[in-house]
Amino acid sequence: MTFLFDIGKVLLDFDFESTLQRLLPPGTEASQLHRFLGDKDAFERGDIGLDAYLDQALTALGGGVTREAFEEAWRDVFTPNLPMWAVVERLASDGHRLLLFSNTNPIHCPWMLESYEIFRHFEAGTYSFEAGSMKPEREIYDRVIADHDLSPESTLYIDDLPANIETGRTMGFRSHRYLLNDHRAFEAWLDRELQSS
């Protein structure tokens, strides 16, 4: 069986706001954080390169923040989702094919793949900044199918966002919307899917 895993809010939880607040000038409202993030979607789609995005973000911050400090703060947003890690370990030991499918950027990837041991179980991945499109756009689903020679009807797809799951279902993937606070529902779905295969 092939499994297609999203990363954020599935394998890793993340909290951009509280972590990146330390980059904001003193007295800046947390609600202004989006201004300093710039066009994050364009960055994750690959429309803006790493150097250009960093220049834009550091300029918006008004000086006093180094590129290294910015990248470190961006990478410090993650925490492991240990219940899902246990599932991945089990699926890998049972010989299932594991793939990654993520909207991400070149600050996080490949850094996170090298920093978190769980990713050693994944054969490969398709990432938005390399694909030039983002979930839930259909193009990146076409890309992941082509990249990994997938048969959607025999691929279990796990993601946290409803729009992504909707496109996944439209494309024929056996899809589950994952909620960090309801891991039990995922385990029940997984058991049913494995038994029906």
Rounded to 5 degrees, φ, ψ at 12 are -130, 130
For residues 121-160, one letter each, b for 16 or more C-beta atoms within 10 angstroms of the residue's C-beta and e for the rest, the string is ebeebbbbbebebbbbbeebbebbbebbebebeebbbbbb
Q: Phi-psi region for residue 153, left (φ > 0), alpha (ψ -120 to 50) or beta?
A: alpha
Give yes or no for a contact between 73 and 15, defined as CB atoms under 8 angstroms apart: no
Of 142, 112, 114, nearest to 126 by C-alpha is 142
For residue 170, give both structure tokens.
């439209």
b (16+ CB within 10 A) / e for 53-73: bbebbbeebeeebeeeebbeb
Return the pLDDT at 25.
74
Q: What is the pLDDT along the chain (197 residues), one digit of tens a residue?
A: 999 999 999 999 999 877 788 887 777 766 667 766 778 899 999 999 999 999 988 888 877 889 999 999 999 999 999 999 999 999 999 999 999 999 999 999 999 999 999 999 999 999 999 999 999 999 999 999 999 999 999 999 999 999 999 999 999 999 999 999 999 999 999 999 999 98
Neighbours of 192 (CB within 10 A): 11
In the chain, the amino acid numbered 157 is Y
Question: How confident is the model at residue 19, as a pLDDT?
Answer: 79
Predicted local confidence at residue 20, as pLDDT = 80
Residue type (1 letter), 111? W
| pTM of the shown model | 0.95
